[in-house]
């Protein structure tokens, strides 16, 4: 796909829509792992690419048709694209901005000594692009690919670009965040077949240009807010790190027992319902019940008996406790003493109260002298006749006497209403509550995250 047709600008309504009938002219700042692969692959896909780097060695190498990085397939692609004239490198920022329609920032963001992200390369390159934009009259799009912490683009990069370019976002230039998901070692294959192309963007005209840039890539094109896109990149990498450490700690435990860890995981993978799935990945309330806490404690005790340290697995129960405390603190912060709790069992559809985090939450509030009413139909039924009658009478008589007969009773009584589990009936609270009542939702009862509700707080959204 190396046709070179005319470019066209169309005016649709109040917005200028830039239509590329063919390849685009793009500049890529930073010729490291991400920048080199991105430059070479976009050139191979038909775009005209200028790579920009402050390192003269990398610029010279690329102009010689050699890749500045070692990576499968990349040497041949760079050589072919430099030879056919679609790829070149420079250190001249002004020239690169003047000659292109869109720039991708792929400079490094390494760790500082204290763990914070070093932003110096991103800030330097953004400033130099902004200064070059002063002399450019056409709309120019800046695409941030470097990994930056959520909030960076909106709070730091847009103000910096506006200040130094003298232009306004959406008028003189566009800016978006487009995280990179490639892995070193298979980066060309990852570039060609990403899970999706994700763009955090405010202006439609910029989203359109990026959509055209990726026209050759057959993957879902997702647009969202800049902060969500920035956060998805971290969620992904941190989840990958978590998975690796989980597998390694489990593997070490298996080895200590003489169990084949790979056979364990091969079977584990076959559960696509709970293990490899969306299950348990929605932010919500703490876990509890008769199995998870008990089994974690048993495994950790067993591992210690084999002189094994498993810091990741050991951190799970403290993390869970902290999450209960977070919910308690949210309730205390309301400064109101009458609290209605909807749900006492650890999840909807059961009367099982063993290790329910809602029992711990309620006991904490009770200990602080709060006035409590609880509504949980399953627990009330169990108190009357279920197998759990004895447990309720012996283990939590101080809570069972607080059980209300109906949701309405709790709503009439409470200043703060806590939705504790996802029993569908609790959704009725939103039509029955008074607007001055505070609702603290631990399970995201409302799909729109309660944005339409007054005095509504989600525990982790």
Ligand X SMILES: NC(=O)c1ccc[n+]([C@@H]2O[C@H](COP(=O)([O-])OP(=O)(O)OC[C@H]3O[C@@H](n4cnc5c(N)ncnc54)[C@H](O)[C@@H]3O)[C@@H](O)[C@H]2O)c1
Can residue 121 be called a binding residue for ligand X (CB under 6 A)? yes
Q: Which residues contact 138 (CB under 8 A, 6 or more apart)?
A: 101
By C-beta, is 144 or 359 nearer to ligand X? 144
The C-alpha torsion from 446 through 411 and 354 to 348, rounded to 10°, is -40
Strand 221-224 and strand 87-90: pairing?
unpaired
Query: Out of 32, 46, 65, 75, which residue is the one contacting ligand X (CB under 6 A)?
Result: 32
Residue 199 has which token pair? 């763009």
Cα torsion 302, 305, 309, 313 to 10°: value is 10
DSSP string, 189-202: HHHHS-S-EEEEES
Stretch that binds ligand X, among 102-110, 209-217, 282-290, 431-439 (CB under 6 A): 102-110
Q: Near ligand X by CB under 6 A, which window of 178-186, 194-202, 216-224, 398-406?
A: 178-186
Pairing of strands 25-29, 416-419: unpaired
Stretch that binds ligand X, among 119-127, 256-264, 306-314, 360-368 (CB under 6 A): 119-127
Asked if residue 293 binds ligand X (CB under 6 A), the reply is: no
Q: Which of 280, 298, 363 is nearest to 324 (CA)?
A: 363
Among 18, 24, 27, 30, interactor with ligand X by CB under 6 A: 30
Rounded-to-integer distance, Cα 85 and Cα 454, Å? 60
Which of 29, 51, 53 minimizes the C-alpha distance to 40?
51
- Does residue 62 bind ligand X (CB under 6 A)? no
Nearer to ligand X, 108 or 386 (CB): 108
- The CA radius of gyration of the chain, in Å to the nearest whole number, is 28
Given the DSSP bridges, would you call strands 173-177 and 197-201 parallel, antiparallel or unpaired? antiparallel
Number of shown-chain residues binding ligand X (CB under 6 A) = 25
Asked if 106 interacts with ligand X (CB under 6 A), we say: yes
53 binds ligand X (CB under 6 A): yes
Judge contact between 21 and 7, C-beta under 8 A. Answer: yes
Residue 309 Cβ vs ligand X, minimum distance, rounded to whole Å? 30
The single residue among 124, 138, 186, 277 that binds ligand X, judged by CB under 6 A, is 124
Backbone angles phi, psi at 144, to 5 degrees: -90, 120
> What does the DSSP assignment read for 251-284?
HHHHHHHT--HHHHHHHHTT-TTTTSSSTT-S--
Pick the piece of the chain touching ligand X (CB under 6 A) from 48-56, 152-160, 341-349, 355-363.
Answer: 48-56
54 touches ligand X by CB under 6 A? yes
| Binding residue (CB under 6 A) for ligand X from 27, 45, 147, 152 | 147
Which two three-digit tokens encode residue 86? 């679609």
Residue from 109, 156, 231, 364 that binds ligand X (CB under 6 A)? 109
Q: Is 277 in the site for ligand X (CB under 6 A)?
A: no
Nearer to ligand X by C-beta: 107 or 341? 107
- Longest Cα–Cα distance in the chain: 83
Q: Give me the least distance between CB of 63 and ligand X, in Å please.
A: 14
Q: Give the number of C-alpha atoms closer than 13 A to the C-alpha of residue 122, restricted to the C-beta side.
A: 22
Q: Does 33 bind ligand X (CB under 6 A)?
A: yes
Query: Which residue, judged by CB position, is nearest to ligand X in the bound state?
Result: 32
Active site residue 176: no
Q: How far is the CB of 17 from ligand X (least distance, A)?
A: 30
Window of 30-38, 168-176, 215-223, 289-297 that interacts with ligand X by CB under 6 A: 30-38
Which residue out of 106, 254, 291, 460 is catalytically annotated? 291
- Active-site residues, by number, are 291
Contacts to ligand X by CB under 6 A: 29-35, 52-55, 58, 106-109, 121, 124-125, 146-147, 180, 182-184
């Amino acid at each position: 796909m190396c046709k070179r047709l005319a470019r066209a600008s169309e005016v649709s309504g109040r917005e200028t829509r830039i239509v590329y009938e063919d390849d685009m002219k793009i500049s890529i700042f930073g010729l490291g792992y991400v920048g080199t692969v991105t430059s070479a692959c976009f050139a191979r896909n038909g775009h005209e690419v200028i790579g920009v780097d402050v390192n003269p060695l990398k610029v010279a190498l690329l102009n010689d048709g050699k890749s500045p990085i070692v990576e499968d397939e990349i040497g041949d692609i760079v050589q072919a694209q430099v030879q056919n004239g679609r790829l070149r490198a420079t250190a001249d920022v002004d020239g690169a901005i003047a000659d292109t329609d869109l720039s991708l920032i792929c400079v490094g963001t390494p760790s500082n000594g204290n763990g914070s992200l070093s932003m110096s390369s991103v800030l330097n390159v953004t400033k130099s692009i902004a200064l070059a934009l002063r002399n450019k009259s056409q709309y120019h799009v800046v695409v941030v690919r470097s990994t930056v912490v959520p909030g960076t683009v909106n709070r730091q990069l847009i103000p910096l670009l506006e200040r130094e370019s003298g232009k306004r976002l959406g008028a003189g230039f566009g800016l978006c965040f487009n995280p990179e998901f490639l892995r070193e070692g298979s980066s060309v294959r990852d570039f060609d077949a990403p899970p999706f192309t994700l763009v955090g963007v405010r202006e439609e005209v910029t989203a359109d240009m990026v959509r055209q840039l990726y026209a050759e890539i057959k993957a879902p094109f997702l647009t969202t807010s800049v902060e969500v896109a920035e956060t998805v990149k971290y969620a992904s990498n941190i989840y990958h790190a978590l998975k690796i450490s989980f597998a390694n700690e489990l593997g070490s435990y298996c080895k200590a027992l003489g169990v084949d860890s790979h056979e364990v995981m091969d079977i584990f993978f076959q559960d696509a319902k709970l293990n490899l799935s969306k299950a348990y990945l929605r932010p919500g309330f703490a876990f509890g019940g008769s199995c998870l806490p008990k089994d974690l404690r048993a495994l950790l005790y067993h591992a210690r008996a084999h002189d094994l340290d498993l810091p990741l697995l050991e951190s799970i129960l403290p993390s869970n406790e902290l999450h209960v405390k977070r919910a308690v603190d949210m309730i205390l912060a309301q400064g109101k003493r009458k609290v209605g709790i909807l749900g006492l069992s650890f999840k909807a559809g059961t009367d099982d109260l063993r290790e329910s985090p809602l029992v711990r939450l309620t006991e904490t509030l009770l200990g602080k002298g709060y006035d409590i009413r609880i509504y949980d139909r399953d627990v009330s039924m169990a108190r009357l006749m279920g197998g759990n009658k004895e447990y309720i009478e012996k283990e939590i008589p101080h809570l069972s006497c607080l059980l209300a007969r109906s949701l309405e009773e709790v709503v009439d009584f409470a200043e703060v209403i806590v939705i504790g589990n996802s029993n569908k009936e609790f959704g009725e609270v939103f039509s029955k509550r008074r607007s001055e009542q505070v609702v603290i939702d631990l399970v995201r009862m409302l799909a729109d995250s309660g944005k339409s509700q007054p005095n509504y707080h989600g525990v982790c959204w």
